[in-house]
Amino acid sequence: MGFGFRKSIKILPGVRVKLSKSGISTSIGVKGFTYNTRGRITTSIPGTGIYHVTNLKSKGPRQPSRRQAASLEFRLCVQERVVCALRGYFLSHGIYVSEANLGEATELVEHKAFIESLSPELEIVHKAARLATDIGSISLAEKEKAMRAAYAIESACASRHGAYRALNEVVASAESKVQSLPAKPTFSGPFVLGLLGSFLLPVGLLGALLLIAAACWGGRRFVAYENRKSALLNGIGGIDTQFDALVVKQLSPRPDLALKRDRTWIGVLVRVAIVAAAAAAFSSLVPPHHDAPASTATENAAPADHQRAYYRSDFR
């Protein structure tokens, strides 16, 4: 049994310094609640012995081991190869289907016999994927069986390709254009700047300048994004003609629909409406400038002129 060391020193009411072989820490608190500088919060019910410790510096989720990571990578690789083989088979028969709707394509009557002939290989791949997911590792023998099954599926799909092989190239071109679309712009910076400008409107010219800067900043981002999207849609428009000539059955939305359904402008309008409402609310707080009426100034000046005339008459 190893030796240990622990010493607690009270330096102030509610503050203790603890010395141990693992280091020095400080505890701050009162009876029933204590915070330790190592990130532990201890709450207790005095006199009962019941307490609860919360570690604020607890470690994140455990990282998978190298073997588990290798098994996960193998599962993804095998599944991707099988999915690509099956999708290529359906595209070659004029059936446009995405990976998400591949199960729906396997239920088509005219192709069900071929899919059933691949059942033994598909079951082997599915079993290997389950082992890699549930256990976190997979043996070398199971990996070899799964890879052989994937090779067999790829070979069978390639030998049964239909006459619409050009559809695969058209779809790949359209999907690459959609994936080249840049990420949706964020308008958090212009939005915050606009709110700050609205808040400073009662101060003077600074608030108005900030609002103009926010509008230019956000508008430039939005216009640039819309221009890129329009260019991609125009490029995909030329592919649509080929797509219509080759597709026999469509089970999934076309790639260009993801662009057409983009509603970035809705978020922009909401932010603009919020900033406009804030600007209207804060601008009402500007104190009005009251100028003295001209008639009052004339009345005030009249007695002075009268007094000057009176003094002149006295001296005469």
Judged against a pLDDT cut of 90, whether residue 278 lies above it is answered with: no
β-pairing verdict for 249-250 and 95-96: parallel
Q: What tens digit of pLDDT does each residue of 20-29 get?
A: 766 677 777 6
The whole-number average pLDDT for the span 1-19 is: 65
The span from the CA of 28 to the CA of 263, in Å, is: 52
Calpha distance 41→263 (Å, rounded): 46
What region, left, alpha or beta, does residue 49 occupy, with left being phi > 0 and alpha being psi -120 to 50 degrees? left
Instruction: For residues 309 and 276, give the distance between their C-alpha atoms in angstroms, rounded to a whole number.
Output: 59
Mean pLDDT of 268-274: 89
pLDDT digits (tens, 9 = 90+) for 241-262: 777 778 888 888 776 655 666 7
Query: Which ranges in 93-187 belong to alpha helices (H)?
Result: 102-105, 109-117, 119-134, 140-159, 166-179
